[in-house]
A and B are shown apart, each in its own frame.
Chain A
Amino acid sequence: MRPALAGWAFAAPALAAILVFFLLPVLAALALSLTDFDIYALADLRNLRFVGLHNYAALLQDPLFWQALGNTLYFVVVGVPLSIAVSLGAALLLHSRLGVFRPFFRTAFFAPVVTTVVAVAVIWRYLFHTRYGLVNWALSWLDIHPVDWLGDPRWAMPTIILFAVWKNFGYNMIIFLAGLQSIPEDLYEAARIDGASRWRQFLHITLPMLGPTLVLVGILTLAGYFQLFAEPYVMTQGGPLQSTVSVLYLMYEQGFKWWNLGVASAVAFLLFLLMSGVTSGLLWMARRKGVE
């Protein structure tokens, strides 16, 4: 076999799998979103009708869709910066020469990342239990009355955000740590000789040097946080008062609870559009500022 032929032969199985089980379904989803595919079509394909952009139009008039979109944006807009800030803080602490047992701390901070979302969400639901939870017990020492974390529409999403930050910050921390380690030490030395404080060193050396890493981490984290699903599914089931219904939660319910696969596909595409828009916007801003 010649290398050229071997190349195609070696790549073919993976490419075929990706084509059949991912790329073609994506195109099919676009087609599906233009039909009224529902439980009747699932039973008999003759019940399927082409409806054009009707699913999209209906979604854009559906208050629940806007609620889900708002909830997801709330999660993203608060969760992503908070998550990145904690990751960066943890990376700076681990990078500091003053710290002891750094490999141990790195492993400890990273442990939540590899755990199963569903399992740790079950733990958090219990930690934030109104009556028996450790969190309310700790707050009672400060004379704060028990908060109904997951049962109060004002607190449910913040609780889920805290959970997501706890679960995910270790991932970006590792990327930041690698970025910090690649900053030349003489930059800091020169700044120290000039009498720059630590805070100024951070602002004028660390942050600019981490620019490309920040953009990368921002994009990865945004993409991940837009896909919020398992947390509300386990912790709140979308409640209370639909305050934690996310876009994917809506997609799941439409598609696999009510079998409105046409509507669900339209939801998925709207999410995809939104994610692309936000990511492109971020890249555009980064380029204008000369990062990358």
Chain B
Amino acid sequence: MNDRLSRVVVNGLLLGLAVLSLAPLMWMLSVSFMQPGEASHFPPPLLPSAPTLANYRELFLRAGMGRDLFNSAAIATLTTLMSLLFNTLAGYAFAKLRFAGRDQVFRALLAALVIPAQVAMMPLFLLLKQLHLVNTYAGAVVPGMAGVFGIFLVRQYARSLPDELLEAARIDGAGELRIFWQIVLPTLKPILVTLAIFSFLGAWNDFMWPLIVLSDEHLHTLPVALASLSREHVQDNELMMAGAVVTVVPVLALFLALQRYYLQGLLVGSVKG
């Protein structure tokens, strides 16, 4: 194959794949601005004839999507904060502090990665019911607040910290908590950003657990609300697309802003060892 032809083929395929990847999202955006009923025509219109915010108004004023948005933001933020606290402490401990049984415990944690989360859901629901945490934010946050993946992510990064630095601080008489706070935490900043994005996106996009634990409509997160809306309003395509925009845009924006950290974490997380 000559070089110019290869160039055309490669770039053509790249362009085609990009169109396939983005077209559904673009169309979602376009349809969300259409008049109610406009998208239910054949052939389907590509752009709104008279752009309107009516669907968004309907969602926020009548369907209570403002509340769902708040619930999603609150649960994702709480999960992120808890995950940062718990996983950073543990990840640093597994990387840098020698304690009895450390390596055995860590191996056990890695082995537990093969268990799918859904196995725990039935007893977890009963446990939270006993603790009166069903239909609370806490109930939705609990499974995401500490995780093997998060600990692993921080540990891999913290291992590159020079031991001499920590030893010097110990000789100077600094306590372990102070060393963590003043020396370790600042150097971990990049991986903390990565962990925060993973936790936030994971909590925001999660569907099955919020569906189970938040049956109260006032506590629904966006995915749960959108799913129940889509089962009721099968015909209202424009409304559904506006709901999808509200759900997807915050995480897409977050990803675009912090893409570098996200992709880095993805690679750390998948190269075990």
A residues whose Cβ falls under 8 Å from a Cβ of B: 1, 3-11, 13-15, 17-18, 20-26, 28-29, 32, 90, 93-94, 96, 98-101, 104-105, 107-112, 114-120, 122-127, 129, 131-134, 137, 140, 166, 170-171, 174-175, 178, 198, 216-217, 220, 223, 226-227, 229-230, 233-234, 237, 248, 251-252, 255-256, 261, 264-265, 268-269, 271-272, 275-276, 279
Contacts and interface: CB of A to CB of B under 8 A. Distances in A.
A3 B98 contact: yes
A234 B227 contact: yes
Given A11-B90, A29-B122, A272 B39 contact: no
Contacts of A125: 230
B118 A227 contact: yes
Nearest to A262: B122
A126 B240 contact: yes
Interface residues of B, number: 100
Nearest to A129: B237
A248 B211 CA distance: 13
B93 A10 contact: yes
Contact of A115 (B3, B25, B97, B102): B25
Nearest to B108: A23
B27 interface: yes
Contacts of B254: 114
Interface in B68-103: 85-87, 89-90, 92-94, 97-100, 102
A154 to B, nearest CB: 22
Contacts of A279: 114
A11 B43 contact: no
A105 B20 CA distance: 12
Nearest to B41: A132
Contacts of A29: 119-120, 122-123
B175 interface: yes
Given A1-B177, A137-B44, A26 B241 contact: no
B50 interface: no
B109 to A, nearest CB: 7
Contact of B227 (A23, A112, A118): A118
Interface of B: 1, 3, 6-7, 10-11, 13-14, 17-18, 20-22, 24-25, 27-28, 31, 39-44, 85-87, 89-90, 92-94, 97-100, 102, 105, 109, 112, 114-127, 142-143, 145-148, 151, 170, 175-177, 180, 201, 204-205, 207-208, 211-212, 222-224, 226-227, 230-231, 237, 240-241, 243-244, 247-248, 251-252, 254-256, 259, 262-263, 266-267, 270-272
Contacts of A105: 14, 17-18
Nearest to A126: B237
B170 to A, nearest CB: 8
B145 A17 contact: yes
Please report whether the interface of chain A is mostly helix, strand, loop or mixed according to DSSP.
helix
Contacts of B17: 90, 93, 105, 109
Contacts of A17: 86, 142, 145-146
A115 B248 contact: yes
B208 A268 contact: no
Given A11-B89, A98-B10, A119 B124 contact: no
Complex A-B, nearest 3 residue pairs according to Cβ-Cβ distance, in ascending order: A7-B99, A7-B97, A14-B90
Given A98-B3, A109-B17, 13 more contacts: A7-B102, A15-B90, A18-B112, A18-B148, A29-B120, A93-B14, A119-B222, A119-B223, A122-B226, A178-B267, A248-B208, A255-B122, A271-B116
Given A124-B24, A272-B115, A11 B212 contact: no
Contacts of A237: 231
A225 to B, nearest CB: 12
Contacts of A99: 10-11, 14
Contacts of A171: 266
Nearest to B166: A3
B89 to A, nearest CB: 4
